[in-house]
Amino acid sequence: MKFSTSQSGFQKALHLVASVVPGKSTLPILETVLVEVSPAGEVTLTATDLDISVRVQRAGEVEEGGRVAVAARRLHDVVRELRDAEISLTGEESGLTLRCASGRYRFVGAPVDDFPGLPEIPDQKPLQVDPAKMERMVRQTLYAVSTDETRPELTGLFLSISDDQMSMVATNGHRLARASLSGAFKQKREMLLPPKALNQLLRLIGDADGPLEISGSKNYARIRIGSTQLYSRLLEGPFPDYEKVIPKSNPLRAVVRREDLLASLRRILVLSDSQTRQVKIMLEPGRLQIMAQYQGAGEAQEELPVDYDGTPLTIGYNGGYLLEMLKTFDGERVEMAFQSAVSAGLFKPAELQPDEDLLCLVMPLRLPGDDAAG
């Protein structure tokens, strides 16, 4: 194997794949990057931790094809520090030699046949999405996944595609976020993606140089962004029937300025119980009050103007849930809709793109002295 390439392009590609390499693995081969060179002039880098794999393709001037696996971090650390525009790499069974104007570096190779193969995913009808829209949907939902290992089905982000809509849903059993995108998708598919893969996706999208394509098999998903591919093992479901818990009619509607509510919550939460993060919200026509108190710390109360003309309502929430949710909203105003102090509150940005939708549910906290059944 012998090829030459630009230092910056090679470093960028290495940077992308190296991020999946586990820091310490019981399988030493997982700490390597697989460098494959085709006589047609394609240089492919692959790394995997068995759950997630990233494969990046770059063009190079190829003299001779071949494959070699070398320690990913070491190769990346050297390439990153090089100041030469062009580098040439020669691979043989024993390793990889990097040459540039300033010097020569030889990396000991690992048995290339031990490198795990990537899952086979049929190439038919991949789903095409605008990377910017995909990124927004992930950001608007990923925060809501559960970290509770006792309920593994809630630790994933649920991607559901129907003929004319694609949705991403996350819930931890107390709150839920659903981002949807309309489009002519013309297929039906459901997959439960691990957050680790989506964090990786966000990293790759930042570097996107083309459309995003999603395809999948029973156990794996593949997301292609230009010349980069992300493979992820899927989580086992079933994801709970979330449609059922979305309230059909929450008659008490209020609209408030997002920035004001967000800033107010940030201040109020300082004086809330650090465990429950309980805040009390009191709505009455034209006025929204937020309160918190924490024994031994103090108490806080703020008042915000609100567009509301319903009956007065007092409702408790985990303020942390509201804060995390509001941070992902765009636009100036937030729409809220309630039914009672013990049923799910519905939140969404008041302004949305015509083909996008975002809906969030947050279950209240039962306030002390409030003994209605929940």
Partner 1 sequence: MILHIDMDAYFASLEAQACPSLKGRPLAVGALPGSRGVVASASYEAREFGIRAGMPAAHARRLCPRVEFVPCHPGLYIHTSRRILRRLLGFTPKVEMSGIDEAFLDIGDLLPRGADEGIVWQEAERLAGEVSAAVLSEFGLSCSAGVGPNKAIAKMASKVRKPGGLTLLGESRFRQLFWPQPVERLYGVGAKTASALMIYGIETIGELAATRASLLSRRFGVYGEALHALAWGRDDSPVVPSHASPPAKSLGHEHTLERDLETTDDALSLILALTDRVAADMRREGYAGRCVRIKIRYSDFSALTRQRVLAHPTLETRDLYRTARDLFLDHYCGTGIRLLGVTAAQLQPAEGRAQLPLFPQDRRYRELLQAVDGIRDHFGAHSLLPAGAMRPARAGAGEEEDRRDRRPARPVEPVSR
Q: Does 361 bind partner 1 (CB under 8 A)?
A: yes
CB of 116 or CB of 240, closer to partner 1: 240
Q: What are phi and psi of 224, to 5 degrees?
A: -110, 125
Q: Does 296 bind partner 1 (CB under 8 A)?
A: no
What does the DSSP assignment read for 74-135?
HHHHHHHH---SEEEEEEETTEEEEEETTEEEEEEEE-GGGSPPPPP---SS-EEE-HHHHH
Residues numbered 154 to 213 that lie near partner 1 (CB under 8 A) are 171, 173-176
Q: How far is the CB of 211 from partner 1 (least distance, A)?
A: 35
- Find the angle CA(280)-CA(141)-CA(291) to the nearest 5 degrees: 10
Choices 51-59, 110-118, 224-232, 364-372 (CB under 8 A): range interacting with partner 1: 364-372
Decide if 109 contacts 101 (C-beta within 8 A): no
Q: How far is the CB of 246 from partner 1 (least distance, A)?
A: 10
Q: How deeply is 85 buried, as exposed, middle or buried, from its count of CB atoms within 10 A (0-12, 13-18, 19+)?
A: exposed
230 HSE (CA, 13 A, CB side): 27
Residues numbered 237 to 256 that lie near partner 1 (CB under 8 A) are 240, 244-245
Q: Could you give the strand order of the β-sheet that contains 278-284, starting from the edge strand earlier in sequence? A: 298-305, 287-294, 278-284, 313-318
Q: Which of 344, 346, 358, 360 binds partner 1 (CB under 8 A)?
A: 344
Q: Does 127 bind partner 1 (CB under 8 A)?
A: no
Q: How far is the CB of 157 from partner 1 (least distance, A)?
A: 16
Q: Which of 278, 300, 338, 347 binds partner 1 (CB under 8 A)?
A: 278
Q: How far is the CB of 49 from partner 1 (least distance, A)?
A: 19
Q: How far is the CB of 177 from partner 1 (least distance, A)?
A: 12
Q: Does 318 bind partner 1 (CB under 8 A)?
A: yes
Distance CA 346, CA 367 (A): 19
Q: Which of 63, 64, 114, 148 binds partner 1 (CB under 8 A)?
A: 148
What does the DSSP assignment read for 231-292?
EEEPPP-PPP-GGGGS-S---EEEEEEHHHHHHHHHHHHTTS-TTT-EEEEEEETTEEEEEE
Distance CA 347, CA 342 (A): 15
Q: Does 146 bind partner 1 (CB under 8 A)?
A: yes
Helical H segments across 165-214, by residue range: 195-205
Q: Does 366 bind partner 1 (CB under 8 A)?
A: yes
Q: How far is the CB of 77 from partner 1 (least distance, A)?
A: 34
Decide if 233 contacts 195 (C-beta within 8 A): no
Decide if 361 contacts 322 (C-beta within 8 A): no
Choices 35-43, 73-81, 133-141, 360-368 (CB under 8 A): range interacting with partner 1: 360-368
Measured between alpha carbons, how far apart are the two ends of the chain, in Å?
A: 67
Q: How far is the CB of 245 from partner 1 (least distance, A)?
A: 5
Q: Does 365 bind partner 1 (CB under 8 A)?
A: yes
Q: Which of 262, 342, 352, 359 binds partner 1 (CB under 8 A)?
A: 342
Choices 76-84, 117-125, 272-280, 306-314 (CB under 8 A): range interacting with partner 1: 272-280
Decide if 193 contacts 276 (C-beta within 8 A): no
Choices 15-23, 91-99, 109-117, 269-277 (CB under 8 A): range interacting with partner 1: 269-277
Distance CA 361, CA 364 (A): 10
Choices 1-9, 72-80, 123-131, 358-366 (CB under 8 A): range interacting with partner 1: 358-366
Q: How far is the CB of 242 from partner 1 (least distance, A)?
A: 8
Distance CA 135, CA 140 (A): 9
CB of 212 or CB of 337, closer to partner 1: 337
Q: Which of 149, 218, 249, 354 binds partner 1 (CB under 8 A)?
A: 149
Under the rule (CB under 8 A), what is the footprint of partner 1?
A: 146-150, 171, 173-176, 240, 244-245, 273, 275-276, 278, 316, 318, 342, 344, 361, 363-368, 374
